[in-house]
Amino acid sequence: MAGLLAGLLLAWPLSRPASAPVTPTPDSTPFEVACLSPAELETLALDVLSALNEKKGALPPQEFGAAQGDWMPLRNDPKQVRQGIRNARRLLSLAKKFTIESLMKTGQTGTLSKEKRLIEAMRHIVLDPQLVNTAEVSEGDLSKIYVSPDYAATLVSDDEAVLMLGHELTHVAVRTGRLHHLIENVNQIARQSASLELSEDQQEELACDFIGAEVLKRYIALAPTAEPNAERFARVFGYLSPAERLALAWQNFCDSYNGAAWDEQHLSQDQTFRALLGLDPELRALIPADASAIQLCR
Averaged pLDDT of the chain: 79
How many angstroms separate the Cα of 36 from the Cα of each of 12, 45, 96, 147, 272? Answer: 18, 11, 29, 19, 40
Q: Is the pTM of this model over 0.75?
A: no
pLDDT at 273: 87
pLDDT at 68: 34
pLDDT at 270: 80
Strand order in the sheet with 124-127: 124-127, 141-147, 135-138
Where does the pLDDT of residue 246 fall: very low under 50, low under 70, confident under 90, or very high at 90 and above? Answer: low
Check whether 58 has a pLDDT greater than 50. no
> Looking at 109-113, 123-127, 189-193, which range is the least confident one?
109-113
Q: How many CA atoms lie within 13 A of 285 on its CB side?
A: 8
> Looking at 159-163, 252-256, 278-282, which range is the least confident one?
252-256
Residue 97 CA to residue 102 CA, distance in Å, equals 9
User: What is the pLDDT averaged over residues 229-257?
Assistant: 73
Count helices and strands in the chain by DSSP H and E runs: 12, 3
> Looking at 20-24, 50-54, 103-107, 212-216, which range is the least confident one?
20-24
User: What is the pLDDT averaged over residues 47-60?
Assistant: 56
Give the dihedral of Cα atoms 94, 176, 148, 77; nearest 10 deg.
0
Where does the pLDDT of residue 259 fall: very low under 50, low under 70, confident under 90, or very high at 90 and above? Answer: low
pLDDT at 261: 63
User: What is the pLDDT averaged over residues 142-156?
Assistant: 96
pLDDT at 33: 59
